[in-house]
Structure 1
Amino acid sequence: MKNRIKELRKDKKLTLVELSKKVQIPNNTLSQYENEKRKPKLETWQALANFFNVSVEYLKGYLIAECRWCGNKFVLTSDKDKDRYFYCPYCGRSPLTFKTK
């Protein structure tokens, strides 16, 4: 699954140079992250997630499921998991809500 750095940058109407200045990461490095030619370190993922106000998991491209009943959230590692987790693994109830952030 593809990370969402470029998508979120464009949603905020920022260029690579503008984002680079805001998060203090060289724009050529950000470009490599966006195109998945290079993987950020955990602290870089966290800095970008904080800037975009999303979770690191969401930024990495994962889907987040949340139980409507108990409120627990968990990360789905593939699109196939969406069908597999019709019931909450914590309380066993359904349906689940699939979060975008």
Structure 2
Amino acid sequence: MKNRIKQLRQKNHLTLKEVSQKVGMANNTLSRYETGKREPKLETWQKLADYFNVSVTYLQGIDDEDYIEFACNECGHTFKVPRELETKVVSCPFCSCQETSYEV
């Protein structure tokens, strides 16, 4: 399974140096992550995902679509919504209320 670090970096017209400086790592470390020669720790995956505004599983290449996890304030269930819908009103699929918030 191939991660999407390089793909997202290039899509955003960023250099290795720019991304590595923003997330606080050496250029060669980021390069090794991109090529799969080195595996980031979970906290590093999260830093990179936050930087690119995607989920960790999307960045890792596990999910084909980027999702945001929501929690229903009414019934307590959690559910995923495609990121492109994050700005729309999200209804809970379990109780249909619209009292939802981003899962942290």
TM superposition score normalised by structure 1: 0.63
- Structure 2 residues not aligned, in runs of 5+: 68-77, 82-93, 95-104
The runs of 4+ residues in structure 1 deviating greater than 6 Å are: none
Q: Give the fraction of aligned pairs with identical amino acids, expressed as a percent.
A: 59
Match of residue 44 from structure 2: 44
Equivalent residues in 2 for 1:4-19, closer than 5 Å: 4-19=4-19
CA 65–50 in structure 1, closer or farther in 2 if over 3 Å, else same: closer
Equivalent residues in 2 for 1:58-97, closer than 5 Å: 58-63=58-63, 64=65, 72-73=79-80
TM superposition score normalised by structure 2: 0.62
Which structure's relative contact order is higher, taking Cα pairs within 8 Å and 6+ residues apart?
1
- Structure 1 residues not aligned, in runs of 5+: 75-90, 92-101
CA distance in 1 between counterparts of 2:25 and 2:14 reads 14
CA distance in 1 between counterparts of 2:32 and 2:13 reads 19
